[in-house]
Amino acid sequence: MTAPERRTIESVRADFPMLAARMNGRPLAYLDNAATTQKPRAVIERMSRFLSSEYATVHRGIYTFSQESTRLCDEVREKCRAFLNAARPEEIVFVRGATEAINLVAHGYGRRALREGDEVLITELEHHSNIVPWQRLCQERGLRLRVAPVNDAGEVLLEEYRRLLGPRTYLVAVTQVSNALGTVTPLPEMIKMAHHAGAVVLVDGAQGAPHRATDVRALDCDFYCFSGHKIYGPTGIGVLYGKMKHLEAMDPYQSGGDMIESVSFEETTYAPPPAKFEAGTPAFVEIIGLGEALDYVSSLGWEWIGAQEEALLRLATERLSRIPGLRIIGQAPHKAAVVSFDLEGIHPHDVGTILNEEGIAVRAGNHCAQPVMRRYGLTATTRASFAYYNTAEEVEALVRGIERVRGVFA
């Protein structure tokens, strides 16, 4: 792979076969990266090569290919440890994605540790995946779910957050980056405040991990999770990081093969973490794909990625702000490359449908974040979310597409 400083946007785009596709007869402008990212050829070819000439199950075989599959997966666990700067690879649990990771913590940690009257604190920015598991746990266990509000710019109101932290706050679950607005939350301050109150902190990094370097030890979060398909890897694989003291105390979320130490009809003892939380045959092909995706991102470097995405965000914000009747929802000073907007008098689904005809892929809906939509008096927005492989020309195509939308509904 070419050194990061020598990569051009053209050479990077050439690494992604899907970016050369056409949609409805037009060149594809893929602006739905917060939902899922496209895959570099390196990931596609690595998974294909494994399936065609290396495939064997992990952990269960004494034959060479099985042992090699196990070694490859162990290597990826170490890559994930390094990616997050976790203390040890045993703190990395493979899951299907961030949603399963949050459910694992809610069931394995929350059910064991939280008692009636305890409180779980989240924010108004959260994705449904970081609301519903806690809501269900609260309903089942007699807990109280508390919500820190945001201001008109989409920033968490830190004084309100501080006020909501109390002696019964046992767990805080907060997004690193809002999928609906792009807001980057002030995690260092929020985690310190939560720990001062005696709470454990889970960070939903599904939208954060693809955009910025994350050091879980520097943050001092107790749990952190992300999904592979949002960071240029395959679907069906993700990572939960947990401090070892918490993982050791947690109950397993699922039971079955390979998560046990011994089984009899009278009693079962569980394997230590991370195996305790990885019941059944893992998605080992996808694990290998995730490892390749992390290698690819690392080869580009966070400085290059950040510069590309920041430039796209500035351009898109400036150009869209000029369009009459268009209101950008969420204008926090610290944002990832997400622009969510409302076009006066035109439903987001209509916006998305017409943009689709122009070859422009955006998201239209509530983005699995209905509470924050209601905060702005909306049921839905149109969302353009950018990755480092997007271009200024695609921003201009988006602007022209929106002008066509306005013309249709004039």
- The catalytic residue positions are 368
Please, which residues bridge with residue 62 across strands?
Answer: none
**How many Å apart are CA 323 and CA 336, to the nearest integer?**
21
What percentage of the chain's residues is helix, strand, coil (to nearest 5)?
A: 45, 20, 35
Distance, CA of 57 to CA of 45 (rounded, Å): 19
Nearest CA among 365, 381, 380 for reference residue 320: 381
Name residue, tokens 């929802």: 329
* Count of helix runs (H) and strand runs (E) in the chain: 15, 17
CA distance 139 to 143: 7
Element (H or E) spanning 349, and its range? helix 348-357
Whether 114 and 157 have beta carbons less than 8 Å apart is answered as: no
Work out the angle at residue 258's Cα, subtended by the Cα atoms of residues 93 and 245, and round it to the nearest 5 degrees: 40
Q: Going by DSSP bridges, is the β-strand pair 119-123/144-148 parallel, antiparallel, or unpaired?
A: parallel
Helix/strand/coil for 143: coil
Cα separation, 108 vs 141, in Å, equals: 14
